[in-house]
């Protein structure tokens, strides 16, 4: 094995399959794995009147999305190769496996490959009579129009949307209500991240990008995409302040939506604007590790984030701290702030039972 690749893996070509075999063996009561093509789905039968919620994307971000399959969250997740979109056949077969008569909602992080493949899968599923809708998550405020992405990238809000929308599906929301809810969560959420180190994808065998020993990538994407700028290493407080102020910026960010136009039988792209956070808002504060950053450092980030929110009279009423949307072993963190209301709080608090998020049950 290459010197650049000290990893607990066997053949790099087998990483996805073996990791899926492992998660299936670890959580047989929660999930099942379909191997050809790859997708993870719930072990227990879904209620026939429930809208099913599916997500997917490149691997390497675990527990996202496979670790979020289970009661109160996703019905299925489609993992691609590391940092690579899953294919339309995965998405189609997953939809066919878990689909009820009530429809399918796909939560799609806004990366060009993911968007294109989910669109193709959706068209195929529609031809088979499945009611299916894609909603984009594009919450990363760092930059627009980057490597992998037209518009804003989808990051931390995807985790929160999967929990909240999954709970709503469990409570009987119909497909239209769920689509509206997902769009609202997306527009209520803003994120930004920072990388202290790179990471090494197994198939590449060398670091994804080069970062100097005293440099950080401010505004990094979860595939190591360049952010706003390279900066010298500074203190946790300074870095947290820069991330938080970028998220709290008092301007509307343009967000992208794509809907299937029934009349034109084609995809309709349009823009909406998100909602800047303001004094008096209540938020969920999510401090996420990109993989290699210890929990103690996330707490130090949370401390400064909470101080800034307090100064701005924004109240943190729920929190999530840990590695939930990662980039392999990359050191660094991201912050997501999601504006909450009573409905979103109740859905966040609702029972969930998945490999990586579990409470109330």
Length of the chain: 361
Nearest to 132 by CA among 141, 145, 123: 123
Q: Does 121 bind a second copy (CB under 8 A)?
A: no
| CA atoms of 30 and 333, how far apart (whole Å) | 29
Q: Does 210 bind a second copy (CB under 8 A)?
A: no
Residues with catalytic annotation?
A: 61, 223
Query: How many positions of this chain bind a second copy (CB under 8 A)?
Result: 68
Q: Pick between residue 178 and residue 309 the one whose CB is nearest to a second copy.
A: 309
Token digits of residue 349: 């608090």
Give 42's contacts (C-beta < 8 A, 6+ positions apart): 30, 31, 32, 69, 70, 71, 75, 76, 98
Report in angstroms the alpha-carbon separations of 139 from 72, 123, 136, 256, 283. Answer: 23, 25, 9, 10, 15
- Mark 220-259 with x for binding to a second copy (rule: CB under 8 A) and - for no binding: -------------xxxxx-xx-------------------
Q: Pick between residue 95 and residue 195 the one whose CB is nearest to a second copy.
A: 195
Q: Pick between residue 146 and residue 354 the one whose CB is nearest to a second copy.
A: 354
Per CB under 8 A, the segment of 88-96, 131-139, 160-168, 350-358 that binds a second copy is 350-358
Q: Does 156 bind a second copy (CB under 8 A)?
A: no
Q: Are β-strands 282-289 and 266-273 bridged in parallel, bridged antiparallel, or unpaired? A: unpaired
In this structure, what is the dihedral angle of CA atoms 109, 340, 253, 150, given to the nearest 10 degrees?
0
Q: Does 106 bind a second copy (CB under 8 A)?
A: no
Q: Pick between residue 245 and residue 268 the one whose CB is nearest to a second copy.
A: 245
Q: Does 32 bind a second copy (CB under 8 A)?
A: no
| CA atoms of 258 and 251, how far apart (whole Å) | 23
Q: Does 197 bind a second copy (CB under 8 A)?
A: yes
Angle in degrees, 0-180, between the axes of helices 112-127 and 88-98, rounded to the nearest 10:
50
Q: Does 3 bind a second copy (CB under 8 A)?
A: yes
| CA atoms of 223 and 1, how far apart (whole Å) | 23
Which of 21, 261, 269, 349 is the binder for a second copy (CB under 8 A)?
21
Question: Which 285-324 residues touch a second copy, going by CB under 8 A?
Answer: 285, 287, 291-303, 306, 316, 319, 321-323
The pair phi, psi for residue 210, each rounded to 5°, is -100, 135
Q: Pick between residue 246 and residue 258 the one whose CB is nearest to a second copy.
A: 246
Q: Does 325 bind a second copy (CB under 8 A)?
A: no
Residues 43-77: b if buried by 16+ CB within 10 A, e if exposed? eeebeeebbbbbbbbbbbbbbbbbbbbbbbbbbbb
Cβ 21 to a second copy, closest distance in Å?
5
Q: Does 10 bind a second copy (CB under 8 A)?
A: yes
Q: Pick between residue 133 and residue 316 the one whose CB is nearest to a second copy.
A: 316
Segment holding 297, helix H or strand E: helix 295-311
Q: Does 23 bind a second copy (CB under 8 A)?
A: yes
Binding site for a second copy (CB under 8 A): 1, 3, 6-10, 15, 18-23, 25-27, 59-60, 62-63, 67, 196-197, 213-214, 216, 233-237, 239-240, 285, 287, 291-303, 306, 316, 319, 321-323, 326, 328-329, 331-333, 353, 355-356, 358-361
């Amino acid at each position: 094995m290459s010197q650049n690749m000290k990893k607990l893996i066997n053949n790099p070509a087998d990483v996805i399959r073996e990791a899926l075999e492992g998660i299936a063996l670890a959580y047989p009561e929660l999930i099942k794995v379909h191997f050809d093509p790859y997708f993870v789905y719930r072990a227990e039968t879904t209620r026939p009147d429930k809208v099913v919620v599916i997500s997917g994307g490149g691997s390497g971000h675990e527990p996202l999305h496979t670790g979020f399959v289970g009661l109160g969250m996703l019905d299925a997740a489609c993992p691609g190769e590391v940092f690579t979109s899953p294919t339309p056949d995965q998405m189609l077969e997953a939809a066919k496996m878990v689909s009820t008569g009530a429809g399918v909602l796909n939560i799609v992080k806004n990366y060009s490959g993911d968007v294109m493949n989910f669109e193709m899968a959706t068209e195929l599923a529609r031809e088979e009579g499945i009611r299916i809708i894609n909603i984009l998550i594009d919450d990363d405020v760092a930059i627009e129009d980057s490597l992998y992405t037209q518009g804003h990238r989808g990051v931390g809000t995807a985790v929160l949307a999967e929990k909240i929308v999954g709970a709503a599906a469990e409570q009987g929301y119909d497909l239209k209500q769920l689509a509206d809810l997902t769009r609202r969560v997306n527009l209520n959420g803003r994120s930004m991240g920072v990388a202290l180190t790179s990471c090494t994808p197994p198939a590449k065998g060398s670091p994804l990008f080069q970062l100097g020993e005293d440099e950080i990538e401010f505004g990094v994407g979860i595939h190591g995409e360049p952010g706003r700028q390279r900066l010298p290493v500074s203190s946790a407080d300074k870095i947290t302040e820069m991330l938080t102020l970028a998220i709290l910026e008092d301007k509307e960010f343009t967000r992208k939506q794509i809907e299937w136009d029934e009349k034109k039988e084609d995809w309709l792209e349009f823009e909406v604007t998100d909602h800047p956070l303001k004094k008096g808002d209540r938020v969920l504060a999510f401090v996420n590790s990109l993989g290699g950053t210890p929990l103690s450092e996330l707490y130090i980030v949370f401390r400064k984030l909470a101080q800034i929110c307090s100064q701005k009279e924004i109240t943190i009423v729920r929190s999530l701290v840990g590695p939930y949307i990662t980039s392999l072993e990359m050191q660094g963190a991201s912050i997501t702030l999601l504006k909450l209301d009573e409905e979103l709080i109740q859905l966040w608090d609702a029972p969930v039972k998945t490999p990586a998020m579990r409470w109330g049950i």
